[in-house]
Amino acid sequence: MSDTAAMTDRTTAPPALLPDSSTDAPREADHERWTAVADEVAARLATDVVDRDRVGAAPHAEVELLRSAGLLPLLVPTSSGGHGGSWLTAFDVVSRIARVDTSIGHVLGYHYLHSWRTRLHRRPDVVERLDAGTAANHWLWGGAGNPRDAGLELVPTEGGYRVHGKKFFATGAEVSDRVIASGTVTTSGQKYGFALPTHTDGVVHGGDWDSLGQRMSASGSITFDGAFLAEEDILGPGEQTDPSAPAYPSLSAIGFQVLLALLAVATAEGALSTGAEYTRTKSRPWATSGVSAADDDPLVRARYGELASQVRAARALTDRAGRAWVAAASRGWELTHEERGEVSVELSAAKVVTTQAALDATQGVYELTGARATKTGQGLDRFWRDVRTLTLHDPVSYKAVEVGDHLLKGAHPEPSGYS
């Protein structure tokens, strides 16, 4: 097909299409507006988060809450009808929601990344059309890109392709309006990225997410059973894990790492806040502590201080890595592999610190609240279960190796689905 074949020419890449003000500090008024909206959404979610987590159903109602709050077109440029918000505002919005409900923060964060990933390909006309659709219809985006599963197959047919294959983890896809994925043409071996309406013939959602944590993240399987992919929905060549391609497309994998670190540290912040409130209002002082209130116990105060300090350090490192990723995204197709490599190492370091800090905080909070806090209705366990699930996305030990290799050898991680 001549038009898709032309997209493989890497010498004629179009300018990067970036959300307005993606490289600048957020405009103060806009930032305050959307963080206030996020706080309102978080307050709504907090009223029944423990009960919803226990049920573990797909978050259809929660997505409608995000939609009605106007948060979904946050990153869409104003020229396409969106809010033109910055990534730094989006990170803050996701954090505020994830402190209360990590699953919904996860779905929203991945929505921002998946809708943005369309611009890592080479068809700006398709990107502009999809941006306009997201702005006008408040679409939620999901993805089907688990790199450890077999790749999807694209079988040529009149007007496009038929998509075949299965992805076992597709966070948010079940409750999304559009899903982004990639597949390989069976006759040529060419890999393309594409976007499809989620609820269309041949797209089957397994509804089979039943995990320890992130129970409301709709992270179950998605199967493509001959779904029709029109030529107009092809985004361009799939270059995101191709070491010979420009560096810009490979920012996708690092973007996922930013969000996973962000979700882990926000969840730890939520655990400490919830635990501290419990300690102040419900915990009884230990018999030999010599104090009449649990929050006056010097051992409790010191342990909270240790955990909070670790989480503050994790937040600082994650924020720094997030800013580095945003700066790299602002470079667009001019981004060099060395620049991209430095960002990858920055994220690996953040993941090493954040993983341990979040696990320590979410389990350590039980030391400071007491045996009665283990009752199911308190819901303190959800923070640890969510962090434990998130931090198993990819082994943190390999992130430590990447940081060590950079220190010892000056090496950068090779672009992949995880680095």
- Express each pLDDT in 380-414 by its tens digit: 999 999 999 999 999 999 999 999 999 999 999 99
Residue 19 reports pLDDT greater than 50: no
pLDDT band (50, 70, 90) for residue 376:
confident
Q: What is the pLDDT of residue 115?
A: 97
Q: What is the pLDDT of residue 9?
A: 42
Q: What is the pLDDT of residue 292?
A: 96
pLDDT in tens, 140-197: 999 998 888 889 999 999 999 999 999 999 999 999 999 999 999 999 999 999 999 9
What is the total residue count of the chain? Answer: 419
Encoded tokens for 41? 């959404």
- Residue 334 CA to residue 346 CA, distance in Å, equals 20
Residue pair 141/111 in contact (Cβ under 8 Å)? The answer is yes
pLDDT in tens, 267-309: 999 999 999 999 999 999 999 999 999 999 999 999 999 999 9
What's the whole-number average pLDDT of the chain?
93
Encoded tokens for 342? 């430095």
pLDDT exceeding 90 applies to what percent of the chain? 89
Residue 21 reports pLDDT greater than 70: no
Encoded tokens for 150? 């077999």
- Residue 70 CA to residue 63 CA, distance in Å, equals 11
- 372 φ, ψ (degrees, to nearest 5): -65, -20
pLDDT band (50, 70, 90) for residue 25:
low
**Structural domains in the chain, sorted by start:** 2-140 (1.10.540.10), 142-237 (2.40.110.10), 248-409 (1.20.140.10)
Residue 6 reports pLDDT greater than 80: no
Helices 337-364 & 396-409 angle (0-180, nearest 10): 140
Q: What is the pLDDT of residue 10?
A: 37
Encoded tokens for 14? 């179009």
